[in-house]
Amino acid sequence: MPAAPSHPFDAATALNADADNHFTGHTSPAYANMVGPFGGITAATLLGAICLHPARLGEPLALTVNYAGPVSDGAFRLHTVPVRTNRSTQHWRVDLEQGGAIAATATAVFAARRETWSATEIGFPEVAPAAEVPVNPMPARVAWFRQYEMRFIEGGMPDFRVAPPADDTTPYDTTSTLWVRDDPPRVLDFPALAAICDVFIPRIFLRRQRPTPAGTVSMTIYFHAGAAQLAAQGTQPVLGRARAQHFRAGYFDQTAEVWSTDRHLLATTQQVVYYKE
Amino acid sequence: MPAAPSHPFDAATALNADADNHFTGHTSPAYANMVGPFGGITAATLLGAICLHPARLGEPLALTVNYAGPVSDGAFRLHTVPVRTNRSTQHWRVDLEQGGAIAATATAVFAARRETWSATEIGFPEVAPAAEVPVNPMPARVAWFRQYEMRFIEGGMPDFRVAPPADDTTPYDTTSTLWVRDDPPRVLDFPALAAICDVFIPRIFLRRQRPTPAGTVSMTIYFHAGAAQLAAQGTQPVLGRARAQHFRAGYFDQTAEVWSTDRHLLATTQQVVYYKE
């Protein structure tokens, strides 16, 4: 009997250990964006390389991915560097190289956590459970949209066929709140959570209600959950909420939260995004 | 006549260009923290190295600093790497080395911006102007506190002499809002703004109302202002607002905004902080 086909996410983030500290991978058409791969799958791949590394200590705490240049369809190479290992934290650097150029860089902090007093300062958004929110079809022209099941409570993809006139100055709200999971469903882990941190469509689509070229320049994720919490989440949808804070001179930022079904904060994430107006 | 003494901030962040891509610097007692230097002065120094680099393009857009290990009093060496230069963005890596080990790493994105449609999504906090808020004396035992003039509107340093009992579970608010500037006053620039992004005392001090060992592990800053806006701010205090989002298993995060006197968002910043309970 042939082996069961792996999940498209696992196929897209698969890596081969190469020389010491080096891995090779390949872009996946399933996670293609308008140009190049979905930034979330790149983040997941870079984080996944550290998770695979034999020297890795503990679990992800912080990840910053800088999208330095376009990634072309095809093979790429990752160079992982364990920069410093302390008693309970470990600092990493990862570069993604393709065709002799660095297309992405990342830094990550991993930590061996121990239980302490804990508390959540911000509130879980009061929304209907996922089962009561219909799945929204996303535009079929973007491949990676098809890898996620999205149930928007607010701030879904605008209908650009009814875009407002160019002189419209309405300050449309940029908040999106949605239940989201891999499609087909897949048990949550750190790379999948990293990818979900980038599923929010560019906030400028919402603010301007018209198509605008935009792309993430840098994304930072803080992982608040441990592996056991992610496993407990299983294949259930997580709740994401994102909004912009400031748009100026070609760049805007986005801040977002990802919550578990049982109201635990799994991750908080920021990104700065290029836009062309 | 001797040259006028430079500002302590300039003395603390001064660098000598060494070999190609290398700079040397020295810690400053004026910006000492409980252990090692104030994290903000380290961030300012790393960013300053890129600003000084002859290949530098444009202005800072994003900075992530990872505090990988303790920095001892004394000399250190910075290694700057221009990872990739595009038409309008430039990606950097900077390492801080001391005694043969890497004590901090940073990545930065610089950008040559051009004017576009712009907007602020979040609101300027409605607070009294700086002139109407008294300056708060901060504990003299921490040297770097003396380099800042802080006028707290809310969330100042708690009086630990009246710390609540250990079994107190009151969810004290972690928001701090303050007017802050260098003391003596100094015209704002990107390194000074980076340092100000780290002036907020650990949120766990506010949440628990008692002293708790804590230290920043990673900080990310998005610069929303350009050099002209910073120069226009001059020596006036900026408005900072910070709060925690989540505390779990030895780490919490902090999100913060820094606003100009004339209500422009200068920077947004996040950090993840170790705490011991």
Please, which pLDDT band fits residue B2 given cuts at 50, 70 and 90?
Answer: low
Residue A102 has its nearest CB partner, among B83, B121, B208, at B83
Q: Which residues of A touch B95 (CB under 8 A)?
A: 83
CB within 8 Å: A249 and B207: no
Residue A61 has its nearest CB partner, among B226, B244, B272, at B272
Strands (E), chain A: 16-17, 22-26, 59-67, 75-85, 89-98, 101-111, 119-120, 148-154, 176-182, 214-223, 238-248, 251-259, 265-275
Strands (E), A130-208: 148-154, 176-182
Q: Which of B89, B209, B269 to mutate to test the interface with A (most CBs of A within 10 A)?
A: B89
Q: How far is A257 from chain B (nearest CA, A)?
A: 10
Task: Say which residue, B235 or A168, is predicted with more confidence.
Answer: B235
The mean pLDDT of chain B is 95
The pLDDT value given to residue A2 = 52
CB within 8 Å: A119 and B66: no
Residue B4 has pLDDT above 60, yes or no: no
The pLDDT value given to residue A84 = 98
**Alpha carbon distance B60, A127 (integer Å):** 38
Radius of gyration of chain B from Cα atoms? Answer: 19
CB within 8 Å: B246 and A121: yes
Q: Which residue of B has its CA nearest to A85?
A: B68
The DSSP bridge partners found for residue B166 are none
CB within 8 Å: A107 and B224: no
What are the pLDDT digits (tens) for A20-75? 999 999 999 999 998 899 999 999 999 999 999 999 999 999 999 999 999 999 99
Residue B1 has pLDDT above 70, yes or no: no
CB within 8 Å: B245 and A64: no
Q: Which of B109, B169, B230, B263 to mutate to test the interface with A (most CBs of A within 10 A)?
A: B109
**Alpha carbon distance B252, A202 (integer Å):** 27
Give residue B99's region: left, alpha or beta (phi > 0; psi -120 to 50).
left
Q: How far is B115 from chain A (nearest CA, A)?
A: 4
Structural domains of chain B, ranges and CATH numbers in brackets? 8-113+128-275 (2.40.160.210)
Look up residue B88 and give its DSSP letter. S
Q: Which residue has the tokens 């780290």?
A: B198
Residue B245 has its nearest CB partner, among A86, A268, A274, at A268
* Sign of the Cα pseudo-torsion (B202, B206, B208, B212, in order): positive
Q: Which residue of B has its CA nearest to A203?
A: B121
Residue B5 has pLDDT above 60, yes or no: no
Residue B69 has its nearest CB partner, among A84, A207, A257, at A84
Look up residue A50 and give its DSSP letter. H
Q: What is the pLDDT along chain A (277 residues), one digit of tens a residue?
A: 555 558 999 999 999 998 899 999 999 999 999 889 999 999 999 999 999 999 999 999 999 999 999 999 999 999 999 999 999 999 999 999 999 999 999 999 999 999 999 999 999 999 999 999 999 988 888 999 999 999 999 999 999 888 888 888 888 999 999 999 999 999 999 999 999 999 999 999 999 999 999 999 999 999 999 999 999 999 999 999 999 999 999 999 999 999 999 999 999 999 999 999 8
Q: Which residues of B touch A36 (CB under 8 A)?
A: none
Contact by Cβ (8 Å): B52, B110: no
Hey, is A208 helix, strand or coil?
helix
CB within 8 Å: A105 and B117: no
Please name the amino acid found at residue B132. Answer: E
- This prediction has a pTM of 0.97
Q: Which of A59, A90, A91 to mutate to test the interface with B (most CBs of B within 10 A)?
A: A91
Residue B92 has pLDDT above 80, yes or no: yes
What are the pLDDT digits (tens) for B180-189? 999 999 999 9
The string over A160-173, giving b where at least 16 C-beta atoms fall within 10 Å of a residue's C-beta and e elsewhere, is eeeeeeeeeeeeee
Q: How far is A2 from chain B (nearest CA, A)?
A: 43
What are the pLDDT digits (tens) for B44-87? 999 999 999 999 999 999 999 999 999 999 999 999 999 999 99
Q: Which of B57, B115, B200, B245 to mutate to test the interface with A (most CBs of A within 10 A)?
A: B245
CB within 8 Å: A255 and B255: yes
Residue B120 has its nearest CB partner, among A68, A246, A249, at A246
CB within 8 Å: B122 and A84: no
Contact by Cβ (8 Å): B8, B67: no
DSSP string computed for A217-242 = EEEEEEE-S-HHHHHHHTTSPEEEEE
Contact by Cβ (8 Å): B70, A54: no
Look up residue B37 and give its DSSP letter. B
CB within 8 Å: B222 and A275: no
Cα distances (Å, whole numbers) of residue A197 to A40, A47, A178, A268, B253: 7, 13, 12, 8, 16
Q: Which residue of A has its CA nearest to B93?
A: A105
Radius of gyration of chain A from Cα atoms? Answer: 19
The pLDDT value given to residue A264 = 96
**Alpha carbon distance A106, A220 (integer Å):** 9
Residue B169 has pLDDT above 90, yes or no: no
Our measurement of the distance from residue A233's CA atom to the centroid of its chain's CA atoms, rounded to an integer in Å, reads 17
CB within 8 Å: A101 and B84: yes
**Alpha carbon distance A156, A175 (integer Å):** 9
What are the pLDDT digits (tens) for B128-167? 999 999 999 888 889 999 999 999 999 999 998 888 888 8
Helix boundaries (H) for chain B: 8-12, 39-52, 190-196, 203-208, 227-233
Residues ≥6 apart with Cβ < 8 Å to B161? none
Q: Which uninterrupted H or E stretch holds A40? A: helix A39-52
**Alpha carbon distance B222, B266 (integer Å):** 9
CA angle B189, B193, B196 (to 5 degrees): 145
* Mean pLDDT score, B12-23: 95
What are the pLDDT digits (tens) for B182-231? 999 999 999 999 999 999 999 999 999 999 999 999 999 999 999 999 99
ipTM of the complex: 0.96
Please, which pLDDT band fits residue B3 given cuts at 50, 70 and 90?
Answer: low
What are the pLDDT digits (tens) for B115-127? 999 999 999 999 9
Residue A249 has its nearest CB partner, among B103, B226, B247, at B226
> How many Cβ pairs within 8 Å bridge chains A and B?
198
